Structure 1
Amino acid sequence: MRESVDVLISGGGVAGLAAAAAFGSAGYSVICVDPAPPVTERGAPGADLRTTAFLQPSIPVLTAAGLWQRIAPHAMPLQVMRIVDAGGAEPIARITHDFDAADVSAEPFGWNLPNWLLRREFVARLGDLPNVDFRPGQGTRRLFTRDTEALVTLTDGAQVTAKLVVAADGRHSPVRRALGIPVHTTRYGQKALAFAVTHPEPHRNVSTEIHRSGGPFTLVPLPDHQGKPCSAVVWMETGPEIERLRALPRDAFEAEMNTRSCGLFGWLEQASALTVWPIITQQATRLYGQRTALMAEAAHVVPPIGAQGLNMSLADLSALIDLARPETLGTQPMLQAYERRRLPDIKLRLAGVGLLNRASMMRARPLRDARAAGLHALYSLAPVRKGLMQLGIGMR
Structure 2
Amino acid sequence: MNQTDVIILGGGLVGQTLALALDLHGLSSAVVDRMPTKALLDSSYDGRVSAVASASWNMLNAIGLGEALEGKGCPIGSIRASDGLAPGRLDFESGEGEGPLGIMFENRLLRASLFGASQKAEHIALHMAKSAADVVREQEGVTVTLDDGTILKGSLLIGAEGRGSPTRETAGIRVARWSYRHHAIVATINHERSHGGIAYEIFYPAGPFALLPMLDDAGGHRSALVWTVHEKDGPAMMGLSERAFLAEAEKRMGGFLGNLALAGPRGSYPLGFHHAAKITGERLALVGDSAHGIHPIAGQGLNLGFRDVACLAQVLVEGVRLGMDAGDAELLKRYETWRSLDTLMVAMATDGLTRLFGIPGKTASRIRRFGMTAVDRIPPLKRRFVDEARGSSGKLPLLLQGVTV
Identity %: 27
Distance 1:112 1:319 in 2: 23
Report the counterpart of residue 99 of structure 1 in structure 2.
Answer: 92
CA deviation map 1:278-304 (0-9, x unaligned): 211111111111111100000000111
Following superposition, the deviation at residue 252 of structure 1 comes to 0.9
Q: TM-score, normalised by structure 2?
A: 0.91
Following superposition, the deviation at residue 340 of structure 1 comes to 0.4
Distance 1:394 1:255 in 2: 35
Q: State the one-letter code of the partner of 1:97.
A: L
Report the counterpart of residue 240 of structure 1 in structure 2.
Answer: 232
Report the counterpart of residue 285 of structure 2 in structure 1.
Answer: 293
Distance 1:40 1:196 in 2: 20
Contact 1:33 1:138 in 2 (8 A): yes
Q: State the one-letter code of the partner of 2:102.
A: G
Report the counterpart of residue 55 of structure 1 in structure 2.
Answer: 53
Q: TM-score, normalised by structure 1?
A: 0.93
CA deviation map 1:180-208 (0-9, x unaligned): 11110121101101110011111111111
Matches within 5 A, 1:227-266: 227-266=219-258
Report the counterpart of residue 7 of structure 2 in structure 1.
Answer: 8
Distance 2:382 2:198 in 1: 17
Distance 1:152 1:191 in 2: 36
Report the counterpart of residue 397 of structure 2 in structure 1.
Answer: none
Following superposition, the deviation at residue 361 of structure 1 comes to 2.3
Report the counterpart of residue 308 of structure 2 in structure 1.
Answer: 316
**Do structure 1's residue 124 and structure 2's residue 121 form an aligned pair?**
no
**Do structure 1's residue 34 and structure 2's residue 27 form an aligned pair?**
no
Q: 3-state DSSP class of the match of 1:97?
A: strand
Distance 1:33 1:226 in 2: 37
Q: 3-state DSSP class of the match of 1:361?
A: coil
Matches within 5 A, 1:17-96: 17-37=16-36, 38-43=39-44, 47=46, 49-86=47-84, 92-96=85-89
Following superposition, the deviation at residue 307 of structure 1 comes to 2.2
* Higher RCO (CA 8 Å, separation ≥ 6 residues): 2
Following superposition, the deviation at residue 98 of structure 1 comes to 1.5
- Structure 1's unaligned 5+ residue stretches are 87-91
Following superposition, the deviation at residue 319 of structure 1 comes to 0.6
**Do structure 1's residue 184 and structure 2's residue 176 form an aligned pair?**
yes
Distance 1:41 1:137 in 2: 15
Distance 2:34 2:100 in 1: 36
Contact 1:21 1:67 in 2 (8 A): no
Distance 2:339 2:188 in 1: 33
Matches within 5 A, 1:308-387: 308-324=300-316, 325-326=319-320, 327-328=323-324, 329-387=326-384
Give the 4+ runs in structure 1 shifted more than 3 A. Answer: 38-42
Contact 1:166 1:295 in 2 (8 A): yes
Q: 3-state DSSP class of the match of 1:216?
A: strand
Distance 1:368 1:193 in 2: 24
Distance 1:202 1:297, change over 3 A: same
Distance 1:391 1:294 in 2: 23
Contact 2:53 2:102 in 1 (8 A): yes
Following superposition, the deviation at residue 359 of structure 1 comes to 2.1
**Do structure 1's residue 224 and structure 2's residue 205 form an aligned pair?**
no
CA deviation map 1:290-342 (0-9, x unaligned): 11110000000011122211111111010111111333211100000000000
Following superposition, the deviation at residue 42 of structure 1 comes to 4.9
Q: State the one-letter code of the partner of 1:271.
A: A
Q: 3-state DSSP class of the match of 2:176?
A: strand
Contact 2:201 2:209 in 1 (8 A): yes
Distance 1:194 1:42 in 2: 19
Distance 1:93 1:135, change over 3 A: farther
**Do structure 1's residue 268 and structure 2's residue 260 form an aligned pair?**
yes
Q: 3-state DSSP class of the match of 1:73?
A: coil
- Structure 2's unaligned 5+ residue stretches are 394-405
Distance 2:270 2:43 in 1: 21
Distance 2:295 2:206 in 1: 13
Distance 1:229 1:107 in 2: 22
Distance 1:18 1:259 in 2: 39
Distance 1:315 1:33, change over 3 A: same
Q: 3-state DSSP class of the match of 2:155?
A: strand
Contact 1:12 1:33 in 2 (8 A): yes
Distance 2:16 2:292 in 1: 17
Report the counterpart of residue 214 of structure 1 in structure 2.
Answer: 206
Following superposition, the deviation at residue 60 of structure 1 comes to 3.1
Contact 1:212 1:368 in 2 (8 A): no
Contact 1:93 1:262 in 2 (8 A): no
Distance 1:162 1:292 in 2: 11
Q: 3-state DSSP class of the match of 2:278?
A: coil
Following superposition, the deviation at residue 39 of structure 1 comes to 3.5
**Do structure 1's residue 150 and structure 2's residue 142 form an aligned pair?**
yes
Which 10-residue stretch deviates more, 59-68 or 261-270? Answer: 59-68
Q: 3-state DSSP class of the match of 2:70?
A: helix
Report the counterpart of residue 89 of structure 1 in structure 2.
Answer: none
**Do structure 1's residue 391 and structure 2's residue 395 form an aligned pair?**
no
